[in-house]
Amino acid sequence: MKKVITFGTFDVFHIGHVHILERAREYGDYLIVGVSSDALNRSKKGRNPIYDQASRKKIIESLSCVNEVFFEESLELKRNYIEQYDADVLVMGDDWVGRFDEHRDQCEVVYLPRTPSISTTEIIEVVRTQEP
C-alpha cells in the first residue's frame, strides 16, 4: 500500500483544501493528514484559527479521500511524522516549493499548484469588511 502524507491548518474549510486533498490522495492508496494544532497556529501566526483544532480535524476526517488524521504539534517534527506514519510520498502546496526537499531521503516529495484566487486569509478578510 502506498501512503501519502500532507500537512496544513485547513481553517475555514474551502474548495482549495478539497482540491489539494483529492489530488494528494491520487499519489497513493492511503492519505494521512497532519492538521496543525491551535498552539502551533498561535506560535506561527500569532492568533487562534477561526475553527478550533477538534473541529478542523473532524471536517478533514469526514472526507472520503482521507484515511487518517492527526494533530501536527510542531513544524520541527515533520521528519518524525513521516517516519511514524511510514509515508511514501509527502505532498505540499506549491506555496512551500523547495521547503521540504530535505525529506527526499525519506520519501518522494511532491508540490502541487494551489487553487487560484482562494485562501482562508482572503475569506476572513472578505467577511470582515463586508457591509451589513
Strand spans (E) along the chain: 3-8, 30-36, 68-72, 89-93, 108-112
99 vs 132, which CB is nearer to ligand CTP? 99
Stretch that binds ligand CTP, among 6-14, 25-33, 71-79, 97-105 (CB under 6 A): 6-14
Minimum Å distance from CB 107 to ligand CTP?
16
Q: Is 10 among the residues that bind ligand CTP (CB under 6 A)?
A: yes
Distance CA 122, CA 48 (A): 16
Binder among 61, 73, 83, 95 for ligand CTP (CB under 6 A): 95
Residue 94, C-beta contacts closer than 8 angstroms, at least 6 positions apart = 111, 112, 113, 114
Q: Which of 3, 4, 5, 20 binds ligand CTP (CB under 6 A)?
A: 20
Distance from C-alpha of 128 to C-alpha of 28, rounded to nearest angstrom:
39
User: Helix and strand tally (H, E) in the chain?
Assistant: 5, 5
Question: Which residue number, 104 or 113, has a Cβ lying nearer to ligand CTP?
Answer: 113
Give the residues lining the site for ligand CTP (CB under 6 A): 8-10, 16-17, 19-20, 92-93, 95, 114-115, 118-121
